[in-house]
């Protein structure tokens, strides 16, 4: 199975900051990556798919990039409602796999 490693595991940031989360795959997955946001006691929500395509209704401060084995999620101008845990997921092959998550906390 393809392994996804996210970094960092957690980070502290202030409102207005730009944060970047990295997801590395154990093998080439072209652009078959999605990013999810999960707030406490909530269902995960897809933000980005195909590595860089913004899901409908998601604010444009979220962006994704990368291909092959390295991917990034960037939040430009962090808002109070963005404090959450973020997961990458690969859908290149089955079994699908998730990264371990990155918790974005308020500094």
Partner 1 sequence: QVQLIQSGAEVKKPGASVKVSCKVSGNTLTDLSMHWVRQAPGKGLEWMGGFDPFHNEKIYAEKLQGRVTLTEDTNTETAFMELSSLTSEDTAIYYCTIDLFTVMDVWGKGTTVTVSS
According to the binding rule CB under 8 A, does residue 62 interact with partner 1? no
Q: Which is nearer to partner 1, 32 or 78 (CB)?
A: 32
CA gap 87, 34 in Å, rounded:
8
Least distance to partner 1, CB of residue 20, Å? 19
| Number of residues in contact with partner 1 under rule CB under 8 A | 25
CB of 49 to partner 1, least distance (A): 4
Torsion angle defined by CA atoms of residues 35, 90, 55 and 42, in that order, rounded to the nearest 10 degrees: -50
CB 32, min distance to partner 1, A = 9
Could you tell me if 89 and 36 are in contact, meaning their C-beta atoms sit under 8 angstroms apart?
yes
Residue 22 has which token pair? 């990295």
Give residues 73-102 in contact with partner 1 (rule: CB under 8 A). Answer: 85, 87, 89, 91, 94-101
**Helices marked H in the chain:** none
Tell the smallest beta-carbon distance from residue 60 to partner 1 (Å).
17
User: Which distant-in-sequence residues (6+ apart) come within 8 Å of 46 by Cβ?
Assistant: 34, 35, 36, 55
- Per CB under 8 A, residues contacting partner 1 are 1, 34, 36, 38, 43-46, 49-50, 53, 55-56, 85, 87, 89, 91, 94-101
């Amino acid at each position: 199975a393809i392994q996804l490693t996210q970094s960092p595991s957690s980070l502290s940031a202030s409102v207005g900051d730009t944060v970047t989360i990295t997801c590395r795959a154990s093998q080439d997955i072209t652009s078959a990556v999605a990013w999810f946001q999960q707030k406490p006691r909530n269902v995960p929500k897809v933000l980005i798919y195909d590595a860089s395509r913004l899901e409908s209704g998601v604010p444009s401060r979220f962006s994704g990039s990368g291909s092959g084995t390295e991917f990034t999620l960037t939040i430009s101008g962090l808002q109070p409602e963005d404090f959450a845990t973020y997961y990458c997921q690969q859908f290149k092959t089955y079994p699908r796999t998730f990264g371990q998550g990155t918790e974005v906390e308020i500094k």
